[in-house]
Structure 1
């Protein structure tokens, strides 16, 4: 993670230094007070779980941590990738031990901004909080199911409770290092709700005219035609897309039935009528115009034009007893009879709903290095001895050759990281000891002292002169 260091470093003449795989608890990203357009009105934030920077920071670490899977190979981010609008480019995501998920992984972009409170394609989670830990407890996905020989969620809590950075982060976020499923749900949901995208070409145009029904001056004629077709109902010679994908959030109507796609991923014979939810239509494609992944719950549609072709002529499948009423006017499946030019126009409009910031913004990026390591820094750790439980004296700082550590007798491991988050020095210590910095280059380092018995850690920034 690249993060600006505190002011005292700058006072020593070191400016704009960046630390990889480090979270500075003194300088958190802004998750709680992000700006959003005044025309975005929907919000499914649960009562009592308003976004807080500390808790969302914990959520970010949980979201990217592979330790949340039974064999340390899968994280939430394995199936919800930042560069894919927090979706997956695979039709079925790869879970634990190479097994495949039953449905395509839904994009998480703008999950907060919808009226629909239920989550998953089949709405089996009553809230986003409820949703966040279900993949962890799935035998195929992350493996803490408590079935088929899997460990259960209590085993996960025991596992995470032994991880030093979780002891620090849970206490930082909640005031208590005790880990519970509910705390994990609150933190993950806050991080996911913080992921937002409102810097698209559509947003620029709407600000210019302040009325989505008017032509946008920054749109091409084709894009403006596509916008009209998207918004107007079929009885006004439109495609009626906005009837289900509503407003400027482009969220799904909570009362929707299925959309005529009833297949099961990986099967040519099974059907599934339970998929009633969909993600926002924002960021269907990335800034280059390429799809962020296959579409629909079974990943069966591979292009935006194929999506429009599907809605232009809904399949007349007698096995589908749960088709949305808006897709069967007069009791028969919808036939829009759009021209090829009209279809291409709707595709062009859908591409205007893509932003840029969310794909690269560091606040939503992976905080771990390539080895799965992370370092926490900040005065909350280096000056609050309650976190570590023992008095520590470290001098001199800045250090030239020898660094002295005074600490109560015990068993500790001291580790030094450079500004890239790379481990450059380690030494076991018992009490008063010294570290040899003579071979290290000038610059900023992090010293981490971990109590081998309690697993608590103390982290301090050092300067090598």
Structure 2
């Protein structure tokens, strides 16, 4: 009889444990296991993941929930996704995004993709890492209402979030540190690597003559003495990820209204310098530049071809570059500019902008 009693106790404990695991799985379908970050070899393995924030499936799921969570804003109407929409490659269509009460932000929202390789965030590079980056919009009075500390308390009172934090971090206690770590984990999974350009690199796509000529112009520097034409784009955007982590003054203004990186470093040599933005999915992320001044890719090409303004901090990559001997401008033809845009559209990754892993998990599926 006593043995039977012990067997009943053991059976009860097994069933209870299974029930807890099933309940946790219902809340979070990625209850265990590290998250496998998949990307092509040609992207390189110099990735940026802090040792104290490994990427796990439960952390990524929680981060995705928080990325789309309007409870993080003081008005309960704004989430990270408000300014970073998946259909627009996690950018938006405004020159300056709208925060709480439709208050405009200071700069254009940058596209979020391939952040696994980035170390300095925002146009001016003020944030060292994704974890720190997440705190800025949450604490900004013009973006999400300087609501981070209160948001943590609000989430603690919900039914769904404490178990999710338990699954991700081993405790139901919600803190600012854990919240930003979870968002960072999700954002590291936003990898765009299946555009026609990627397929071309893998030998799976044959570019049109226009796309191929645009690619050659994009990658080449002009050498008029050798009759070699180029647009010099690869000086800043030449990696397969279509950006390099640099800060440049790209000739938008002779006297910048926005001093850019100088505001962070205090160095005059950084005046008017901004982070080189990725060109991945560039077709979807208009308007362009830190202030959204250009509405189309045609306007962007016109700027680099004909309208670069000189200043003391103008990027060396943009000085004295011309397809004409002793030319004052880049000197691309209308057809060449059109071909470059054809190549840029090869960077549009439709799989990325439709990937259900990145979609809003709060939306119920309509049957």
Q: State the TM-score, normalized to the length of structure 1.
A: 0.65
Q: Deviations over 1:65-122 (max 9, x none)?
A: 00000110100000000110000011111111111111111110222234xx110001
Higher normalized strand content (fraction of residues): 1
How has the CA–CA distance of structure 1 residues 85 and 74 changed in structure 2, closer, same or farther, with 3 Å as cutoff?
Answer: same
Residue 311 of structure 1, CA deviation: 1.1
The match for 2:22 is none
Q: C-alpha deviations, 1:241-277, integer Å up to 9, x for none? A: 11111311112342x322122499xxxx934343421
2:47 to 32, 40, 43: 43
Deviations 1:411-462 (A, max 9, x none): xxxxxxxx869xxxxxxxxxxxxxxxxxxxxxxxxxxxxxxxxxxxxxxxxx
* Number of residue pairs the alignment of both structures matches: 323
Aligned equivalents of 1:52 and 1:206: distance in 2?
30
Cα distance, 1:369 vs structure 2: 3.0
Mapped pair 1:171 → 2:166? yes
Alignment of 1:393-404 (within 5 A): none
Equivalent positions of 1:385-424 (< 5 A) are none
- The answer to whether 1:197 aligns with 2:192 is yes
Runs of 4+ more than 4 Å apart: 27-31
2:93 is paired with a residue of what secondary structure? Answer: coil
Mapping of residues 11-410 of structure 1, within 5 Å: 24-27=27-30, 32-41=35-44, 42-114=46-118, 117-144=119-146, 153-208=148-203, 218-235=206-223, 236-254=228-246, 256-262=247-253, 270-274=257-261, 275-285=273-283, 291-317=284-310, 320-329=311-320, 335-369=329-363
Distance 1:263 1:24 in 2: 54
Residues 262, 161 of structure 1: CA spacing in aligned structure 2 closer, same or farther, 3 A cutoff?
farther
TM-score (norm 2): 0.81
Distance 1:127 1:184 in 2: 15
Q: Which runs of 5+ in 2 are unaligned?
A: 1-24, 262-272
Q: For structure 1, which runs of at least 5 residues remain unmatched after alignment?
A: 1-21, 145-151, 210-216, 286-290, 371-418, 422-465
SS at match of 1:136: helix
Residues 62 and 165 of structure 2 are in contact (CA less than 8 Å); yes or no, is this contact kept in structure 1?
yes
Conserved 8 A contact 2:248-2:276: no
Distance 1:262 1:104, change over 3 A: farther
Quote the Cα distance in structure 2 between the aligned partners of 1:25 and 1:263.
Answer: 52
Higher helix share: 2
For the Cα contact (< 8 Å) 1:314–1:333, is it kept in 2? no
